[in-house]
Structure 1
Amino acid sequence: MERWYGIDTVPADLTGSVVTIGNFDGVHLGHRAVLADVVDTAHTYGARSVAVTFDPHPAAVHRPDSAPELLTGLTDRLDLIAETGIDACLVISYSESFAAQSPKEFVRHCLVDVLRVRCVVVGEDVRFGQGNSGDRSTMAELGERLGFDVRLVRDVTAADERRWSSTWVRELLAAGDCAGAAAVLGRPHRMRGLVVHGQARGRELGFPTANLATDASGTVPADGVYAGWLLRDPARVGPGEAVRRPAAISIGTNPTFDGTVRQVEAHVLGRRDLDLYDEQVVVEFVRRLRPTVRFDGIEALVEQMRADVLEAADVLEVPRPEQLPAVQ
């Protein structure tokens, strides 16, 4: 997938496109349905399939104090969009001045003049232009006036008829229900961040962890211990090393040690030798094993950590580690 950062980077020789517009936070199953329709429609028109998205998220510009935590950072959002088969994604830098454009100004300049749009594929809740004043009816009217078709994709819903949405995923993650979130996303929820030095308590107890920096991208699920995966950059992995490793992931403040800083840290099952410092990794959450609790001493904590590792292996359907640190 080609990635165009800014309207001025779109190739001048683009002859036609089928376009959809959205924030695509999380790229959940509803987004994927729209993006898949764009790909299919583009084949019909003999044109390029293009997704238009925004960075930062509009809510971060208009209401920064109450903007939701994003499910995915830009890197993962684009990677997930690419998985749908879209030919190109245009990332527009969102600002107050950009938001001041009327729906017609945005459509004429961005879609018609730059992307040479032949068809716009929209979901039922599409909004665009100043004050979000443009909707699907506005797009249809502009299509008639400016010479492009408009195709509506109906909302995709779950079995209980609730509409797939980023808000729903956030609710599930806030409850620690990563399995439920994965059902809406169509994949495990993920975070991406740099591995930084922590207190090294896990290493001292025999369970070294990769601590994500506090600016890691992706919504942090509820405090607790999770079974999941740690993914490394293939360029950083040596011969014979797996890119994707099973992990037990802890989220919380380490209450046994009176911690105050909330951390996300992942222990790769059966590995005490990995040096991941200053490496960017992805952590995927599969299932919550238990809530975060305070233990009465190191012995009880280590005993529970041993149980967590074994349970994580069972959940992930991987072999249990043969050797585990002894209870102190």
Structure 2
Amino acid sequence: MDQALVATLGSFDGIHRGHQQLFVRMQAFARKLGGRTLVLTFDPHPAELLRPEAAPPHLLPLAENMAYIYAAGVDEVEVELFTRELAARTAGEYLRHLATDYGVTHLFLGYDHRFGSDGRQLSPEEYEALAADCGITLLRDVALLYGDERPISSSAIRRAITEGAMEEARELLGRPHSCSGVVVSGQRLGRRLGFPTANLQRLDPLQLLPPAGVYACRVYSLPGSTHFVPERGGMLYLGSRPTLGGDLEPSIEVHLFDFDAEIYGAELRVELLSRLAPERRFASLDELKTALSVYADETRAYLAAHP
């Protein structure tokens, strides 16, 4: 008898606690069958092709999503190119594809997940019947709830981040929201003010950023970075730099505490822990320097209280 292959599919952006629960349950199920697990995800996000004007910003770059999926213990991750031809497949056709091309025997789905060009018209029972016709047993996970009994979802996390509620986003994700980027040269104003910064250019320009302001953060080197930066607490500024006349593109600048080295080209992941102050315009650079000292003290105090 062929080995069972227990699969799930979806965009899985952010790999939040609901996703993690799904992966844990499908792995436990696969172990009982002596089988393997497979996660199928898509690039680009389906909405970017079908409804680009309404496509959500990314919570994580694709490579980091995949890394978190593997870290959850899944045996295999496949990224399918999402095309209009793929989008046109009915649920039955896609299930046949899973059975024939991947050998899927069991399919775990999120509590409300639908797929296929006809998916909106299908009931859960109809999905199960279509799967059975292809030799696939379909199973539904239950929603993981939080707070006022709302399900954890990528849209709820995006709302929290958009509002600057980084602690809520951390609760839903199971870890802090992060932004990854490469260190590029800047104007060196921070160094002149006594607060040298690493200026980050995002690796994923479509990744969601919180509102402008000052944030407590922790910084890590990404695997394979050209420079290794030891884990550090830091103070992050995100915004248009109105004191300097304003920028069209948001600036992401990180002051790493107790660290001063040239790290141009380093690839960093910055965890945004808490928004400590909104963006504001200062009357002078001296006033900005004084504010930076205050922000640095507040950030160190936050990091000490939240190790």
Q: In structure 1, what is the Cα distance between the partners aligned to 2:123 and 2:154?
A: 19
Q: Given residue 219 of structure 2, which amino acid in structure 1 is its aligned partner?
A: L
CA contact (8 A) 1:122 1:136 kept: no
CA contact (8 A) 1:246 1:318 kept: no
Query: Which residue is 1:279 aligned to?
Result: 266
Q: 1:172 aligns with which of 137, 143, 160?
A: 160
CA contact (8 A) 1:253 1:259 kept: yes
1:300 is aligned to 2:284: no
Q: Provide closer, same or farther for how the CA distance between residues 314 and 61 of structure 1 changes in structure 2, counting only shifts above 3 A.
A: same
Offset at residue 289 of structure 1 (A): 0.6
Query: Which residue is 1:6 aligned to?
Result: none
Q: In structure 2, what is the Cα distance between the partners aligned to 1:234 and 1:140?
A: 41
Q: In structure 2, what is the Cα distance between the partners aligned to 1:308 and 1:130?
A: 51
Report the TM-score when normalising by structure 2: 0.92
Q: 1:225 aligns with which of 214, 225, 237?
A: 214
Gaps of 5+ in 1: 1-13, 320-328
Query: Which residue is 1:162 aligned to?
Result: 150
Q: 1:16 aligns with which of 1, 4, 29?
A: 4
1:270 is aligned to 2:273: no
Q: In structure 2, what is the Cα distance between the partners aligned to 1:312 and 1:228?
A: 8
Query: Which residue is 2:304 aligned to?
Result: 317
1:192 is aligned to 2:180: yes
Q: In structure 2, what is the Cα distance between the partners aligned to 1:142 and 1:171?
A: 35
1:106 is aligned to 2:114: no
Q: Provide closer, same or farther for how the CA distance between residues 131 and 207 of structure 1 changes in structure 2, counting only shifts above 3 A.
A: farther
Offset at residue 248 of structure 1 (A): 0.5
Q: 2:78 aligns with which of 66, 86, 90?
A: 90
Secondary structure at the aligned position of 1:225 is classed as strand
Offset at residue 40 of structure 1 (A): 0.8
Secondary structure at the aligned position of 1:72 is classed as coil
Alpha-carbon RMSD = 2.0
CA contact (8 A) 1:127 1:135 kept: no
- What do the CA deviations read for 1:75-128 (whole angstroms, capped 9, x no partner)? 11111112211111111011111111111111111x201221121111121111
Query: Which residue is 1:253 aligned to?
Result: 240
Query: Which residue is 1:181 aligned to?
Result: 169
Q: Provide closer, same or farther for how the CA distance between residues 101 and 236 of structure 1 changes in structure 2, counting only shifts above 3 A.
A: closer
Q: Given residue 230 of structure 1, which amino acid in structure 2 is its aligned partner?
A: V
Offset at residue 188 of structure 1 (A): 0.2
Q: Provide closer, same or farther for how the CA distance between residues 164 and 197 of structure 1 changes in structure 2, counting only shifts above 3 A.
A: same
- What do the CA deviations read for 1:230-252 (whole angstroms, capped 9, x no partner)? 111355587xx763211101110
Query: Which residue is 2:64 aligned to?
Result: 76
Secondary structure at the aligned position of 1:213 is classed as strand
Report the TM-score when normalising by structure 1: 0.86
Gaps of 5+ in 2: none
Secondary structure at the aligned position of 2:53 is classed as coil
Offset at residue 214 of structure 1 (A): 5.0
- What do the CA deviations read for 1:269-306 (whole angstroms, capped 9, x no partner)? 122x2222122211110011110111111111111111
1:207 is aligned to 2:179: no
CA contact (8 A) 2:160 2:168 kept: yes
Q: Provide closer, same or farther for how the CA distance between residues 162 and 43 of structure 1 changes in structure 2, counting only shifts above 3 A.
A: same
Count matched residues: 302
CA contact (8 A) 1:27 1:81 kept: yes
Query: Which residue is 1:243 aligned to?
Result: 230
Structure 1 outlier segments of 4+, above 2 Å: 131-139, 214-218, 233-238
Percent of matched pairs sharing the same residue: 32
Q: 1:54 aligns with which of 25, 39, 42?
A: 42
Q: Given residue 234 of structure 2, which amino acid in structure 1 is its aligned partner?
A: A
Q: 276-285 or 214-223, which moves further after superposition?
A: 214-223
Q: Given residue 164 of structure 1, which amino acid in structure 2 is its aligned partner?
A: I
Q: Given residue 189 of structure 2, which amino acid in structure 1 is its aligned partner?
A: R
CA contact (8 A) 1:51 1:86 kept: yes
